[in-house]
Amino acid sequence: MRRIGVHVSVAGKIWESLERAKALGCNTMQIFSRNPRSWQAAEFDPSDIENFRRLKKEYDIAPVAVHIPYIINLATPIDGLYKKSIIAYIEDIARADVLGAEYVVTHLGSHVGTGEDKGIRRFSVALNQIINKAGIKTIILLENTAGSGSCIGYRFEHIKRIINALDHPERVGVCLDTAHTFESGYDIKTKAGLEKTLKEFDKLIGLDKIRVVHFNDSLSTVGSHVDRHQHIGKGNIGLAAMKRIINHPGLRGAAFIMETPKKTDKDDRRNIKIAYGLLRS
Ligand SMILES: [Zn+2]
Ligand SMILES: [Zn+2]
């Protein structure tokens, strides 16, 4: 069975996110486990955790991906922020584990002008510490980025270098964002371009490492390094290419989760319907 869903809000009780996902017609979803722009996280009520786990099973919503807050930067040269980020990350991965979430999705962070090599090294050291300290089941997915500013992770080589530096590479997979892939310069709009891109990924990292695809069209152009998500089929990747992506044999095992623009639930419903419509039976 294919898994298709969207990022849903956790407003109210944490388990209400599952109600929302179900009402939208999702069988997988992504959430923040807390306010993504704040360092403070309110503790979960045990009864809310119980409800979350029960409903997740009952509605068969899997995998659940928890996105790490934006403020965490594991590639930062600023010592205080670096340490704070590692502590917050360990807290977040523990929160994901308690909820029974299969994955934690993380951006690779920003080197803030100190250079990619140093940024990648700092990120690898931090991630190693996190995995060794957290000691839990949830798999960490490294998400490729558009490469805006001084963000690392916009080349597959960056992800490969990080995975190679880990004591436990089996604890880590990849979340491939289609908009970021396109924006960072991989031309997945054409059939040949998609094949070339996925072949390159397979050679460097292995397509089986891709557990989640962030299935987003892009409002900006190929290689623009500008991160602008767009509704499926309404962006510069386009419907025909999105269809090739969702049906690609190398990506079939991954959950497809959209982070498309949303004014009302209608937007999510429409994108989910379009995504299902693209599936070749
Ligand atoms: Zn994404
Ligand atoms: Zn994005």
Give the ligand at the shortest distance from the Cα of 151: 2
243 Cα: distance to centroid of ligand 2 (angstroms): 20
Q: What global pTM score does this model have?
A: 0.97
Ligand 1 center from residue 168 Cα (angstroms): 24
Q: How far is the CA of 147 from the centre of ligand 1 (A)?
A: 12
pLDDT for 90-112, tens place per residue?
999 999 999 999 999 999 999 99
What is the distance in A from the centroid of ligand 2 to the CA of 154?
11
Distance CA 141, CA 105 (A): 5
Note the maximum CA span of the chain. 52
| Structural domains in the chain, sorted by start | 4-278 (3.20.20.150)
Q: What is the rounded distance in angstroms from the CA atom of residue 62 to the CA atom of residue 255? A: 8
Catalytic residues: 37, 67, 70, 107, 143, 177, 180, 214, 227, 229, 259
* pLDDT tens digits for range 136-193: 789 999 999 999 999 999 999 999 999 999 999 999 999 999 999 999 999 999 999 9
The per-residue b/e assignment along 171-210, b for 16 or more CB within 10 angstroms, e otherwise, is bbbbbbbbbbbbbbebbbbeeebbeebbeebeeebebebb
Rounded Cα distance between 17 and 134, Å, is: 25
Taking the chain, what is the end-to-end CA distance rounded to the nearest angstrom? 11
pLDDT value, residue 30: 98
Q: Ligand nearest 65 Cα, by number? A: 1
Distances (CA, A) of 205 to 110, 162, 281: 22, 11, 29
Distance 139 CA to ligand 1 centre (A): 17
Q: How far apart are CA 121 and CA 164, in angstroms?
A: 11
| Ligand number with the minimum distance to the CA of 182 | 2
